[in-house]
Amino acid sequence: MPESTTIAPALEQRLAQLIARSGPIPVGRYMAEANAHYYATRDPLGAAGDFITAPEISQMFGELAGLWLADLWVRAGRPANAYYVELGPGRGTLARDALKAMKAAGLSPPVELVETSPVLRAAQAALLPAARWHDDCAGLPENGTLLIVANEFFDALPVRQLVATGEGWRERMVDYRDGRFVPAAGPPAPAAAIPDTLRDSPPGAIVETSPASAAIAGALAERIAAQGGAALIIDYGHQVSSPGETLQAVHAHGYADPWAEPGERDLTAHVDFEALARAARHGEVKSFGPVGQGDWLRALGIELRAASLAAAAPERAQEIAQARLRLTAPDQMGSLFKVLALVARSWPDPEGFR
């Protein structure tokens, strides 16, 4: 097909052509291509976008994340050469609020952001003009302590789906039939791809794994072990590896069909915290949690912070109380969202995980 005669086809067309040429593609490839397009072409956050995140709900979230890091850094003996690192920083709101809280504790680290979206890099630059950007974790500085935050980053990374057949496992693929993307059974998958606690799942069971997430958690752990520091990972997902399909699409603050309009909806999957902690174990770090976001925020003093913000701005007292509930209540973000910490072995234990 002559390439010069067409402008770049929409992602849907490109994926459909790819499938027509070489057959169904793995679910992970579909998710990776869809999200790369999605984030590269828009700022999805906020009322006018597709979803809202904790740092966009209230400054208290970023402030407490910053205090958590600053407290660890102080108790570790205030090592020189500390960097603030954030993965998938969105609009930069969390980083701005965390850095403000860290500064009050005597810590003003250089800012290193891992972000692939040009649109979101521009938004981050408006709040964090002195930051440096990286396409992936490999480019992060190798000569100092890393104070790392990742909020709703891992849920956007591609998952692999595997289906139990009763006689082993098959890769789940995405086919394109009659103008629609549809899941389809693929080639056999090795049992080693399934967490050992799930290998006996009944026929029809779907298991999701995220090799990309495990690779990043492993790399962060190795860096922290070698350079000192900690990583704070916050996301929604499950504490132990569990079967079930969690891949979902979100559009305009509601659920949408993940197999329609790839690249125009946010695709996410539940984060498997057990798998993240397992991947990090190779890196000689201590891991803490996951605990519920509500418990963690309460342990760090969100009630006090909310009270002092409300005292300083009584006209906003109700809004502040609502934001606190949204972040902490078990039927809102308090339980489904979880917090996992990875900390260098030579560092003290972190707050909020008792």
Binding site for ligand SAH (CB under 6 A): 35, 39, 45, 53, 55-56, 88-90, 94, 114-117, 120, 151-153, 156
**What is the three-class DSSP state of 279?**
helix
Cα angle for residues 115, 110, 349 (degrees, 5° grid)? 90
The nearer residue to ligand SAH, 215 or 325, going by C-beta atoms, is: 215
- For residue 232, what are its two tokens? 């704070």
Across the strands, what pairs with 90? none
The nearer residue to ligand SAH, 45 or 249, going by C-beta atoms, is: 45
147 Cβ contact partners less than 8 Å away, ≥ 6 residues apart: 69, 72, 73, 82, 83, 84, 85, 109, 229, 230
> Smallest distance, Å, CB 323 to ligand SAH?
14
Distance between CA 282 and CA 263 in Å, rounded? 34
> Smallest distance, Å, CB 326 to ligand SAH?
14
> Strands 180-189 and 271-272: what pairing?
unpaired
The nearer residue to ligand SAH, 15 or 32, going by C-beta atoms, is: 32
> Smallest distance, Å, CB 30 to ligand SAH?
14
Task: Name the residue among 298, 268, 307, 27 with its Cα closest to residue 153.
Answer: 268
CA atoms within 13 A on the CB side of 91: 17
> Smallest distance, Å, CB 101 to ligand SAH?
16
The nearer residue to ligand SAH, 41 or 165, going by C-beta atoms, is: 41
- Rounded to a whole number of angstroms, the distance between the first and last alpha carbons of the chain is 61
The nearer residue to ligand SAH, 89 or 292, going by C-beta atoms, is: 89
> Smallest distance, Å, CB 55 to ligand SAH?
5
The nearer residue to ligand SAH, 124 or 145, going by C-beta atoms, is: 124
Distance between CA 134 and CA 118 in Å, rounded? 11
> Smallest distance, Å, CB 309 to ligand SAH?
20
The nearer residue to ligand SAH, 26 or 228, going by C-beta atoms, is: 26
CA atoms within 13 A on the CB side of 266: 23
Nearest residue to ligand SAH, by Cβ distance, number only: 88
> Smallest distance, Å, CB 237 to ligand SAH?
14
